[in-house]
């Protein structure tokens, strides 16, 4: 394995999203990419692999073991630790005679993947109902002891309360967290997502406070660019707002189910993990896209700038909505605001026309594998830009006293609320036509009152 002696020691990705797992070919292609970005770890943990979670006691069929054998070989060749995860928390037995049976099931499973060449493991208890924190930690400790002889990394785990707000009550550890953290062996790496399941960032101060609360410095499971809660929105920005001095022992990025587009955020996360103190998100983001997209880099930056921000559709116990990533289209939004405040539309129309041209070039020239992951968003963005241009033209007509009808403005009306709905340029080109309509309607109402 590569000895990466700078930055965060263990750094990589966790294939830990819900929905269709990556294909074997996708994983095989991802490993050399990770190595090229000086990442040294990959966790296999797709939630919808039945043998990983729902049917964790069942052995993998030979065909799947063969794939894992190839994956382990590719990881060794590229200096990447292959880490196999199991999520037994839906129905694992933690006490009595049956706990011994389940420990045996787990060890048997791990021995099978060990024979396939995978030497490192994780046991996850995220997204479950069971509140027996002490029992879960004791189970993890057993697995850690049973696999110690052949692991090359510490065992990794996730508790049920893997975000800050879920593990404390009135500034103290909750009963569950107290049981889990108080029982877990100090040799086990414990993953943590921040103040929320999805959150804007993790500061050095928060890391220090959380380390005191957990009784250890947590490792980070970073939920960006993962979008399994909003699959129609692509996360194409950089990772940002992560600790620079109070560093985790391990850092894992949870990607989207779209492996090619995930590489933008993954590469920025790799740069962060290599040198957290020196990391510059925007500069790195531009460098990464130039490296990955070559002659199409400027067009890809124009598109990716319109799809960076993700917002959850659930609310935590404090009523806060989780969000991560930079706002979409900040430069375009500023131009739109100037127009709505009375400014000329020429610069905005030029920007929208340029964005349309970038979209068309991407549609014509992107590799098929990449285009298949973003074709719907490109089509939507082009339509939104065209609608915004029309809105500008109607606004100009009104300003110059030419007869106009705000009802002609396209792209207005209620927005799709389904979590799988395609979204792009949120709060920017998706709402500008409605904003122009509302402005003209207010002006017309004011004229009628005179």
Q: What is the pLDDT along the chain (450 residues), one digit of tens a residue?
A: 444 457 999 999 999 999 999 999 999 999 999 999 999 999 999 999 999 999 999 999 999 999 999 999 999 999 999 999 999 999 999 998 899 999 999 999 999 999 999 999 999 999 988 899 999 999 999 999 999 999 999 999 999 999 998 898 777 889 999 999 999 999 999 999 999 899 999 999 999 999 999 999 999 999 999 999 999 999 999 999 999 999 999 999 999 999 999 999 999 999 999 999 999 999 999 999 999 999 999 999 999 999 999 988 665 555 555 789 999 999 999 999 999 999 999 999 999 999 999 999 999 999 999 999 999 999 999 999 999 999 999 999 999 999 888 899 998 876 766 767 999 999 999 999 999 999 999 988 776 554
Looking at the domain assignment, is residue 5 inside a domain? no
- Are residues 401 and 279 part of one domain? no
Q: Quote the CA–CA distance of 249 and 187 in Å, as a whole number.
A: 11
Looking at the domain assignment, is residue 317 inside a domain? no
- Are residues 251 and 201 part of one domain? yes
Q: Quote the CA–CA distance of 283 and 275 in Å, as a whole number.
A: 14
- Are residues 350 and 272 part of one domain? no
- Selection from 119, 31, 131, 49 nearest residue 86 by Cα: 49
- Selection from 128, 119, 131, 142 nearest residue 89 by Cα: 128
Helix axes 133-147 and 97-115, enclosed angle (nearest 10): 40
Looking at the domain assignment, is residue 19 inside a domain? yes
Distance between alpha carbon 327 and the CA centroid of its chain, in Å? 15
For the chain, helix (H) and strand (E) counts, in that order, are 14, 12
pLDDT for 319 equals 52
Looking at the domain assignment, is residue 216 inside a domain? yes
For residue 358, give the 3-state DSSP assignment: helix
Other CB atoms within 10 Å distance of the CB of residue 413? 8
Q: Which residues are CB-neighbours of 215 under 8 A, at least 6 positions away?
A: 181, 182
pLDDT in tens, 348-360: 999 999 999 999 9
Please check whether residue 15 is in contact with residue 46, taking contact to mean a CB–CB distance below 8 angstroms: yes
Q: Quote the CA–CA distance of 113 and 64 in Å, as a whole number.
A: 10
pLDDT for 2 equals 44
Residues in the chain: 450
- Selection from 11, 13, 10 nearest residue 226 by Cα: 13
**Predicted structure pTM score:** 0.95
Half-sphere exposure of 341 (CA within 13 A, CB side): 6
pLDDT for 403 equals 87
Please check whether residue 301 is in contact with residue 311, taking contact to mean a CB–CB distance below 8 angstroms: no
- Are residues 248 and 119 part of one domain? yes
Looking at the domain assignment, is residue 336 inside a domain? yes
Looking at the domain assignment, is residue 92 inside a domain? yes
- Are residues 164 and 80 part of one domain? yes
| Domain final position from 245, 270, 293 | 293
6: DSSP letter? S
- Are residues 204 and 63 part of one domain? yes
Give how many domains the chain has, as a whole number.
2
- Are residues 237 and 95 part of one domain? yes
**What residues are labeled active site?**
127
SS (HEC) of 196-260:
CCCCCCCCHHHHHHHHHHHCCCCEEEECCCCCCCCCCECCCCCCCCCCCCCCCCEEEECCCCCHH
Q: Quote the CA–CA distance of 428 and 424 in Å, as a whole number.
A: 9
| Domain final position from 268, 293, 318 | 293
**Which CATH number is 430's domain given?**
1.20.58.460
- Selection from 393, 391, 438, 425 nearest residue 410 by Cα: 391
Other CB atoms within 10 Å distance of the CB of residue 278? 11
Q: φ and ψ at 341, to 5 degrees?
A: -90, 10
| Domain final position from 293, 311, 343 | 293
- Are residues 288 and 335 part of one domain? no
**Which CATH number is 284's domain given?**
3.20.20.80
- Are residues 83 and 25 part of one domain? yes
- Are residues 335 and 248 part of one domain? no
For residue 156, give the 3-state DSSP assignment: strand
Other CB atoms within 10 Å distance of the CB of residue 448? 7
- Selection from 192, 188, 182, 201 nearest residue 161 by Cα: 192
- Are residues 376 and 279 part of one domain? no
Looking at the domain assignment, is residue 259 inside a domain? yes
Looking at the domain assignment, is residue 99 inside a domain? yes
SS (HEC) of 64-125:
HHHHHHHHHHHHHHHCCEEEEEECCCCCCCCCCHHHHHHHHHHHHHHHHHHHCCCCEEEEEC
- Are residues 362 and 240 part of one domain? no
pLDDT for 73 equals 98
Please check whether residue 291 is in contact with residue 53, taking contact to mean a CB–CB distance below 8 angstroms: no
pLDDT in tens, 321-367: 578 999 999 999 999 999 999 999 999 999 999 999 999 999 999 99
Please check whether residue 234 is in contact with residue 374, taking contact to mean a CB–CB distance below 8 angstroms: yes
Q: Which domain holds residue 360?
A: 330-449
Please check whether residue 222 is in contact with residue 254, taking contact to mean a CB–CB distance below 8 angstroms: yes
């Amino acid at each position: 394995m590569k000895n990466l002696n700078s930055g965060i020691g263990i750094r990589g990705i966790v294939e830990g999203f819900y929905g269709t797992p990556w294909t074997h070919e996708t994983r095989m292609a991802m490993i050399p990419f990770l190595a090229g970005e000086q990442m040294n770890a990959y966790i296999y943990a797709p939630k919808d692999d039945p043998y990983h979670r729902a049917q964790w006691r069942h052995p993998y069929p030979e065909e799947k073991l063969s794939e894992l054998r190839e994956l382990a070989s590719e990881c060794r060749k590229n200096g990447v630790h292959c880490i196999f995860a199991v999520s037994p928390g839906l129905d694992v037995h933690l006490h009595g005679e049956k706990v011994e049976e389940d420990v045996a099931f787990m060890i048997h499973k791990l021995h099978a993947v060990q024979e396939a060449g995978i030497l490192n493991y994780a046991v996850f208890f995220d997204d479950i109902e069971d509140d027996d924190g002490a029992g879960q930690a004791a189970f993890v400790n057993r697995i850690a002891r049973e696999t110690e002889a052949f692991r090359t990394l510490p065992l990794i785990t996730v508790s049920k309360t893997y975000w800050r707000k879920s593990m404390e009550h009135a500034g103290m550890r909750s009963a569950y967290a107290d049981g889990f953290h108080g029982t877990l062996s100090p040799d086990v790496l414990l993953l943590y997502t921040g103040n929320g399941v999805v959150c804007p960032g993790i500061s050095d101060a928060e890391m220090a406070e959380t380390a005191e609360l957990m009784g250890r410095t947590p490792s980070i499971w970073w939920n960006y660019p993962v979008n399994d809660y909003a699959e129609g929105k692509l996360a194409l920005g950089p990772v940002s707002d992560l600790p620079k001095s109070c560093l985790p022992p391990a850092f894992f990025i949870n990607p989207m189910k779209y492996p090619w587009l995930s590489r933008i955020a993954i590469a920025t996360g790799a740069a962060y993990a290599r040198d957290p103190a020196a990391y510059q998100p925007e500069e790195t983001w531009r460098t990464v896209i130039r490296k990955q997209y070559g002659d199409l880099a400027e067009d890809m930056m124009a598109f990716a700038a319109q799809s960076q921000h993700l917002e959850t559709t659930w609310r935590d116990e404090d009523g806060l909505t989780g969000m991560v990533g930079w706002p979409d289209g900040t430069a375009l939004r500023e131009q739109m605001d100037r127009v709505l405040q009375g400014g000329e539309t020429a610069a905005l129309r030029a920007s929208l026309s340029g964005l349309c041209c970038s979209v068309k070039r991407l549609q014509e020239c992107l590799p098929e594998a990449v285009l298949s992951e973003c074709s719907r968003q490109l089509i939507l963005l082009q339509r939104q830009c065209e609608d915004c241009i029309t809105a500008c033209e109607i606004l100009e007509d009104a300003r110059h006293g030419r007869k106009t009808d705000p009802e002609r403005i396209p792209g207005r009306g209620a927005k799709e609320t389904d979590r799988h709905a395609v979204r792009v340029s949120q709060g920017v080109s998706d709402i500008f036509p409605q904003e122009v309509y509302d402005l003209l309607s207010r002006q017309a109402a004011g004229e009628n009152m005179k």
